[in-house]
């Protein structure tokens, strides 16, 4: 059984967010020393380091226990993105409806469709 070095303690603190298994892998990769997961947990407890797993949102920097891997951002940033996209789409819709040429064309289409429907109803009534 090998004594714990200061470098290993530093690695426990630096990679603690990866959990005990992640710290064990980091220690083995950087120092070549093999430690068990249980040994890493005990050492972290003794030096007061946390091994809670978390991920960091790439957008806001918030630390969260689980991140959606599809988007790579936290739920709050995803919600903000959705709201922003909705606002932009709504602004585009308003611009299209407020455009006088498009609005006039839309009114003409609706009037023509209503007239066609009236004619069809009249023809159905005659049969």
Q: Is residue 66 part of a domain?
A: no
Q: What is the number of structural domains in the chain?
A: 2
Q: Is residue 59 part of a domain?
A: no
Residues 11 and 40 in one domain: yes
Residues 83 and 123 in one domain: yes
pLDDT average, residue stretch 25-41: 92
Spatial distance between the Cα atoms of 47 and 89, rounded to a whole number of angstroms: 53
Question: Given this model, what pLDDT does residue 99 score?
Answer: 64
- Domain span at residue 23 reads 1-53
In the block, residue with structure tokens 């007239």: 115
pLDDT average, residue stretch 5-32: 91
Spatial distance between the Cα atoms of 62 and 69, rounded to a whole number of angstroms: 15
Number of C-alpha atoms within 13 angstroms, CB side, residue 50?
4
pTM, rounded to two decimals: 0.51
Per-position b or e across 21-60, b if 16+ CB within 10 A of its CB: ebbbbbbeeeeeeebeeebbbebbeeeebebeeebebeee
Residues 124 and 96 in one domain: yes
Q: Is residue 63 part of a domain?
A: no
């Amino acid at each position: 059984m090998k004594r714990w070095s200061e470098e290993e303690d530093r690695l426990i603190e630096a990679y603690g967010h990866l959990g005990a298994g992640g710290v064990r892998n980091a220690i083995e990769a950087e120092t070549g020393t093999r430690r068990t997961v249980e040994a890493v947990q005990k050492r972290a407890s003794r030096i007061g380091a946390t091994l809670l797993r978390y991920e960091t949102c790439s957008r806001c920097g918030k630390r969260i226990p689980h991140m959606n891997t599809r988007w790579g951002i936290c739920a709050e940033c995803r919600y903000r993105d959705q709201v922003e996209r909705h606002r932009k789409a709504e602004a585009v819709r308003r611009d299209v409806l407020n455009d006088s040429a498009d609005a006039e064309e839309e009114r003409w289409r609706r009037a023509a469709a209503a007239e066609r429907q009236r004619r069809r109803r009249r023809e159905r009534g005659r049969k």
